[in-house]
Structures are given as structure tokens and as C-alpha cells.
Structure 1
């Protein structure tokens, strides 16, 4: 077995000795899209069917309070690539290909001697026509030696990739795009009415991405060079189009209804806008419709879990599990009806709390931590595992010392999440107990929640007299130092 012990019951993760030489661990970073942190079995959800993610959690470490750098796809992915906060890299909404000439954690890992690759959705360039292969040079600039890129599901309506090539070759492209056009048009079905995908299960986008991962491992694994592979799934992002057999796994009657209790205190402008422009008015949704809607999301979560299982099986078939880190997270969460909302673009827990688990080479002891952390800490840990140069001006702190010993419930004193389009930009700071959101330009507070006494975020304390000192302290001593380099003068 290619590992040693580092303390009672823990796995040494810095490498192993084989044939008289020290080798470095491989890294597989699995990144899903729009996946809540609480909809897996290992997270305590008794309804969720996620045996493969549960296995990784059983053999590794789970961080229960990992926050997205931003509850927006392209924005948070720019943070993951650069290790920077949103206000530092400046990608507030749409991808900026120019930032690839700045720092990249992938390029740092590549410089440390790793073979690097990505399969699936990157969201690092703007979609709308053309083919993903047109951006291979950009992927190389980011540091990927072998990029096999698709788009996300909705983007495949008008942007081609190796996935749409595959569908066209099999006579399935029109079926795929007709379904998406039905979903995306102004008369889209309500989320509890959306039909299943019309594609064969093996032709679903996420199954195709799993096959890309299998092929990448077949083509790139070498005894002479460690590898770093990102596997970026398109789901469980909407549309919740999982094949019929996945939907049959769930009984809607078993679904716990979304958080719908009446809230007190002011409603943030973010939430007001989302409710005003929502394509589905969830305040008119019945309990039964809510449960059916949630079952459709859970079915896609299980689809993603099966895809993760295929990656694990590919690693096992090549004897790689003993010297490979498997890391799992998502770009942001999914509101799933909580507070009358779908998708993301707000700072409620459903949108910003994301899965985070690390399975070390050879497996380790099951551990869970309440330590406060963010995507930037995942990035710092990947770099640390690879022995690569640290990123400059990154707030991320490596979790590897904890992972090599015993998990603690403290890591960062506070973490940021940022959202908006200048000049309308909002910043959230989360501490162990409180969550505060502000208008980034004026520094005016818009939300304050006591996450210990009010985990469902039903009582906005921002205007209550008893909390004014707490609010001021969070702004002055936590938030302002973290955004001291935010320049709003051009706004």
C-alpha cells in the first residue's frame, strides 16, 4: 500500500515511496454546478441517495461550512482559478478571458511538475456561438496540458463542443436542443412540471463528462509524472432533467418542504429583485408541488453521484486510489424554494454553502469539521498538496495541516462572498456566529443574521437596536479590512 501513517489513524499525504523513489500524490478535483451542501447522505439528509459521495466522506474529511466566493457561476470559478476574491479579479458577472494572464493555481501546479487537465464545463469564457475547441489556447494559458471542454447544459443550445459533436454523430442533437429550447423559452414549464430528458441515459451531459474523465485518465496516467485533473460537471444545475430511472428513485411525499416560514425585518434589495423577476412565482406553489420540484433536483443530485462513482471506478481500475487525493465541491448552491427563491444570486445558506470533502490517498478516518472556510482555502490546499508555489495576495489558507492530523472547528475568523454588477455590488461577511451583508459602495448594511439562534435566516436583525454594536463591529473590524483594496471610485 502506497501510504504511511501520520499520527493516530491518519494518513501521511505528502507522497509515498515506490521502487525506491518518492512519488507525489495525484489530485482529482471534482466540481459540480449549483449543488447544495445539505442534499447528500453524508450531510445528514435521510432522503438523498448518494452512495459514492457518502463513501468519499466515510474515507475522508468533510467541511460543513464552506462558503462560495460568489453565488454566481462565472464569478466564483474565476476565484477558484486565481485564488482571489471577486473584487480582486473583477469578474462580477461575465467571464473575462484576460485574467488568464494573471495568476492561476493550475499553472502553479503545472510548474511543480504535474500533468494537468480538465474535462467538462469551465465557464472561463463567454458563450454564444462557436465551438469550445476555439478556446483551447486559452485553456493552455490557464495551465491545462489537456483540456476536453464542454459547456453547461443551457449553453449547449448555441455553443458547440465535443458533447454536441457526439450528439450530432448519434442523431441526438435536435432532441437535446428542442428540449432545452422548451425549457428556456418564455413559456417554460414550471419547475415541478418539467419532463425528464429525452436523451438516452448514457447520452446525458453529465454522463458524457464522466466518460471524458475516464478517457483522460486512460490517456494521461504515467508512472513518471503525477497528474492534476479537474472534473467539472454541468449538474445538478437546472434544468433538472435527469433520466426517468433517477426520478423513479424518489417519492415526492418523502421530501421535506422548503423553508417557507414568514420572515421578519427588512427584505434585502437582492431578494426583492429575484422575487420580482422570477420566472416561477413560488409563493403560489402548493406543498405537493414544492415536494415534486425538490424530488426532481434530488434525482439530478443522484445522477451526479453516479458520475462521481464512475470517476472513482476509473481510478480503482488503474490502481490509483492509494496515491490520489479526491476533492469534491461545487461552485455555489441552489435555493430550491427556500425563502420563495430558486437558483442563486443571494447570500442565503442555500445559495452560498457548498459541499467540501477531501478523501486522502488510501482513504483515512471519517471526520467532519465546522471550521469556517471558502473556495480559496480549497485552492490553497490543492497547491499545498502538490508542493506548488503559493498564489500571491490570496486569502486562502491550506487545510493540509488539519487533514494530516486532526480536524479542528476553527480555520478562518471570517470569510467573504461577493455579488453584483458595479455599481450595484453587495458583499457578505460570515463569522462563526453572524452573517452580515452590505452595499459595497456605501457600506450600508442590508442583512444581519444570528446563524446560531436563527439558522434558517428568518429574522433580519439589521435594524434592531440591540444589534447595532455587533453590526458596527462586523463592518469595522471584519469586513472593511477584508475589502480594503476594493476601489469603487470608478463606479
Structure 2
């Protein structure tokens, strides 16, 4: 047994050295990081979604390895993307990121920021799209263009729709509503335009490049050209199996009528409204997918694709009608779990890894590829050892939202705790991946509830989470 374990270790170590060999070579690998916003883990056709059209992301997944269980920890605010992106760029777990997010410009100036670390490793850095961090984007990157706010400007017509009688003042393709159309060119197209420009410039540069390409899509207002909207007629869009007209704990967990995201759809939720919103969600994803196709083509045209790593993920997911919710401020997989694709030299093609990771693990992964030591303050972990065949180390996935929700997820169960509602929910995620059947009230499951609750408290301590939970 000991010899077998030692042999496995040596094999994994050798495999890791193959994948990371470029970091010690004269020419460091280029890195293209493509980031979506509000994109649920399953909204890629290659992952088994029966309706959505994502041919370019499908092709990317076939070229590399997909981590099927990538997570965001949660948020200290309703703007979950701020927390996710601060974690991503600072390398810190959620509550430690919260402690520094308002002063992250100081962190950047002191070199404790993803882009600054990549600069120190010899990379020329490029950025376009959504930022939503307190640190200066323009100063964070060597080249930064069209830095966008947290979301395109919304309008009252985009909320509480469609009405029960079917009337709807909103049109996702009409430029008069502004939003993604503000400025005359759809924001997703702008990201691709700049990416093409960056890659043309990078083709003639000797320095390795790090590109941070952040789409606002598919965040609301979910707007795309009519030809994309027409691909998803609402009456043909499936209603999620875990649809509910109301979520019974919505108000006590901060996901009620006072939350902006939740006001997009009418109360009570209707199947038709969910179909309309999901169709527009899919349309915006498909439009973004076409822009990603342009970026991938530009990588090939640069002549540097053989030594370029590509990562695709999102800052968090979105409910869009699941469990009676529309937003991402909850602990269900549709809102905390995201797609995560890695493509690069030595990465196994058309492969999937079920080992859980945090999406922010991409940050130390790129540091390892760049051949720079991970700083002590970076708490997330490189996924290169897992890509090389080593077992992952994350056994419990932590989740939080304000002081209103906590969760712990193992390979079999998820426990969700609602402190204000004095309620816990337990799901067997192997048998019930849509999290529809709450087991917390069953007498036979009480030992599991207590065990997971104790483990969650231990996780809280390791996360510097000072919320006191009581069972």
C-alpha cells in the first residue's frame, strides 16, 4: 500500500511538472481569462443542457478539461459579483476579502493584486469589460479599455414582467432601452472587439500576455439582437422542474420583494414569466458565445495559441425561476455553482473532473503557470495538480450570504442554514441534484444534520466568519 501510494505520488508529480514546464522555460505561457457574469453552471450545451446553443464554448470544452463542480463562496452584500471579483483578484477567502475590499486600491499599489502579480512575473496585461472592484482597473492593467460598471443601466420597464395578462412593455432587442445597447454597440461585442485588438498587438510583442476579458453578459437587463431572441420562443422554453410560485423563506433570507434581482419577475412567479426570462437569458448567452468564438479565433490568428492557456468561468450562477427565485443571492447550486473550463498545453482534451474547486482557484493557477511563488496571503489553490491527476483536497464547500444564509456541501449532502428563519434544509445532492426534497425534518437524518452543522461551524472558524449559528 505504501509503495503504491508513493508510486502514485511520483506519477502525479511528474505529470504536474509536464503541465507547468512552460513556466520555467524561456517563453512563459500566455493566459487568456474569459469571465461571464450571472452564468449558471449548466448553461452550456456540452454540459447536457437540452435547449441552449453554445457551439464555441462546446468546442472549448472539447479542447480541454471541465471542472463540473466549481463554486463561488457567496457574498457580504447583495452585489454578489463584487465579493466574487474581490476574492478573485485578491486571492482571499470571502470574509478576508470583505475586510480589504474597500481598500483594495492600496492592495494593488502594494502589489497584492492578481494583475500586479502577473506584471511582476513579466506579463503584459490587458483588460476590458466588467470590473466591479474598488481598485483602479485602469491602473491595474497595462492596457485597459471600456471598463464597465456592475451592470448595464436598467429601466423600470424591465421589471415585474411579463404581466399576468401577457402584456409586456419590454423588448430585449430594442436599443431605445439602452442597457447593453448604450453607446451604439452591444457590450458583449465591444469585449470581443477589444480582445481582437489586444491579440493583434500581442502577436508582435515578445512579452507573454495576460488577458482579463470580462463580459457583463448574461447579467440583466438581458438584451441581445432579435435574431438571438427568436431562437428561444418563450412557449418552447422548458420550465425548471424545481419551479415554485413562492419560495417560503424568501423574505427571511434576504431574497424577497425588496431585492432588486427578485423584482425582475412578477409575484407570484408564473410559468410563463419564467419561460420569457429564461429565453432571454439563453439568447444573451448564445450571443456572448458567438463573441467568445471571435476571441478564440483571434487567439489562433495571433500565432501563439500553442503556448496559450485559456480559462473560462463566471462570477456566480443565477436562479431565473428555480425555487421561486430569480437572483443569485441564495445557496442553491444554480446560484453558487459555475462553469469552469481549462485549456492549455498538456491538459487532457474532452475531459471532466468532478472534484470540487472554487472558481477563484484560477488566480493561483495562473501564478503557478507564470512560474511565480504563491504569496502567503493568497488562500485559494492552483488546480494544476488536479489537472495532472492528483486528488483534490477540497472536501467541504462553504457558502454564505450576508448574515442570513450559510451552507456546507460535501460529496453527498448539502446543509443550508437560515439563522433568521431558524430553519435548516438538507438535500441529498447525489439523489436530488435539483435540491427539491428537504430531508432536514426526517428523524433518520438528524445525525447527518448535526454532523454537518458541526462541520459548518468549524468551516466558519477557518473562514473568519463571526456569525454565531445555533441548531
Question: TM range, normalised to the smaller chain?
Answer: 0.7 to 0.9
1:254 is displaced (CA, Å) by: 3.6
Closer, same or farther in 2 for the Cα pair 1:450/1:10, shift >3 Å? same
Q: Which residue of 1 aligns with 2:64?
A: 60
TM-aligned CA deviation for residue 377 of structure 1: 2.1
Superposition pairs of residues 192-203 of structure 1, within 5 angstroms? 193=168, 194-199=170-175, 203=185
Of 303, 308, 312 in structure 2, the residue corresponding to residue 319 of structure 1 is 303
SS at match of 1:339: coil
- Structure 2: distance between partners of 1:224 and 1:369: 34
- Measured against aligned partners, the alpha-carbon deviations of 1:418-453 in whole angstroms (never above 9, x if no partner) come to 221xxx35332221112223468x997633322122
**Which one is further off, 25-34 or 262-271?**
262-271
Is the contact between residue 9 and residue 364 of structure 1 (CA under 8 Å) also seen in structure 2?
Answer: no
Q: Does 1:14 align with 2:20?
A: yes
Q: 2:124 aligns with which of 110, 115, 137?
A: 115
Say whether the 8 Å CA contact 1:282–1:337 is kept in structure 2: no
Q: Does 1:242 align with 2:224?
A: yes
- Which TM-score applies when normalising by structure 2? 0.82
Q: Secondary structure at the match of 1:390?
A: coil
Quick one: which of 141, 144, 150 aligns to 1:144?
141
- State the distance in 1 between where 2:256 and 2:248 align: 15
Counterpart-to-counterpart distance in 2, 1:100 and 1:439: 35
Partner of 1:451: 429
Counterparts of 1:105 and 1:93, CA distance in 2: 14
After superposition, the Cα gap between the structure-2 partners of 1:217 and 1:230, relative to the gap in structure 1 and judged at 3 Å, is same
2:407 corresponds to:
428
> What SS is found at the alignment partner of 1:470?
helix
User: Which residue in the other structure is 1:77 paired with?
Assistant: 85
Provide structure 2 residue ranges, at least 5 long, that are not aligned to the other structure.
Answer: 1-11, 176-180
Distance in 1 separating the partners of 2:246 and 2:193 = 48
RMSD value, Cα: 3.7
Partner of residue 9, structure 2: none
- Counterparts of 2:355 and 2:450, CA distance in 1: 24
The 1-side partners of 2:291 and 2:70 are apart by 22
Return the offset for 1:188.
6.8
1:53-452 paired onto structure 2 within 5 Å: 53-70=57-74, 72-90=80-98, 97=105, 99-100=107-108, 103-125=112-134, 138-139=136-137, 143-152=140-149, 154-155=151-152, 157=153, 180-183=154-157, 193=168, 194-199=170-175, 203-260=185-242, 267=249, 271=253, 273-274=255-256, 278-280=262-264, 282=266, 284-361=268-345, 364-403=348-387, 405-406=388-389, 410-420=392-402, 424-438=403-417, 446-452=424-430
Corresponding residue pairs, total: 441
Gap change, CA 1:107 and 1:475, over 3 Å in 2 = farther
* 8 Å contact kept, 1:259–1:337: no
Looking at structure 2, the residues matched to 384 and 49 of structure 1 have their Cα atoms a distance apart, in angstroms, of: 34
CA deviations on 1:259-304 (whole Å, 9 max, x unpaired) are 3456999737655642565325555444344323211110001011
Aligned partner of residue 328 in structure 1, secondary structure: strand
SS in 2 for 1:432: coil
Distance 1:255 1:77 in 2: 31
Specify the SS of the correspondent of 1:452. coil
Q: Report the CA distance between 1:49 and its aligned residue.
A: 0.8
1:480 lines up with 2:458 in the alignment: yes
Q: Is the 8 A contact 1:263 1:459 kept in 2?
A: no
Q: CA deviation at 1:85?
A: 1.2
1:478 shift after superposition:
5.0
Tell me the secondary structure at the aligned position of residue 340 of structure 1. Answer: coil
1:35 aligns with 2:39: yes
* CA-CA distance at 1:417 after TM superposition: 2.6
Q: 1:255 to 1:381 in 2, by over 3 A?
A: same
CA–CA distance in structure 2, aligned partners of residues 272 and 223 of structure 1: 49
